[in-house]
Amino acid sequence: MEIIVGIIVIIFIWSLFKSDSANDIKKAIGEAYLDEGEIFKTDIPWVHAKRFAKKRGQEAHVWDDGGESLSVNMLVNGEDVTATLTLNRANRTTFISADNSERLRKERQKLYK
């Protein structure tokens, strides 16, 4: 019995690390981008989002109130897209929004003129 439980635990842990979370995140960013910058609620665990960003040289920003967010750039349909990934503190999953990077730069420039 102990051997069976051990095997089940190993399979469960292996499946967590084996999950194709990077592809899930890329797909979610693409879907969020198609939703024109709307916030896209996902079931992607926040730890996977942080790992995805860290592999791209980004670290999460921790806000004073305990919230966390991070931004990553990637190509979606040949366009440079900036995606913001935000911790859903209710269940430790990830909210994603994405918009055209150039459009975001122009909006920021207007705000700071």
Q: What is the pLDDT of residues 56-82, one digit of tens each?
A: 888 888 888 889 999 999 898 898 999
pLDDT value at 102 more than 70: yes
Residue 15 predicted with pLDDT over 60: no
Residue 23 has pLDDT above 60, yes or no: yes
If you average pLDDT over every residue of the chain, what do you get? 84
- Place 44 in a pLDDT band, splitting at 50, 70 and 90: very high
Domain extents in the chain: 21-111
Average pLDDT over residues 36-45: 87
Residue 13 has pLDDT above 80, yes or no: no
Pair of tokens at residue 70: 């991070």
Higher-confidence residue of 5 and 82: namely 82
- This prediction's pTM: 0.75
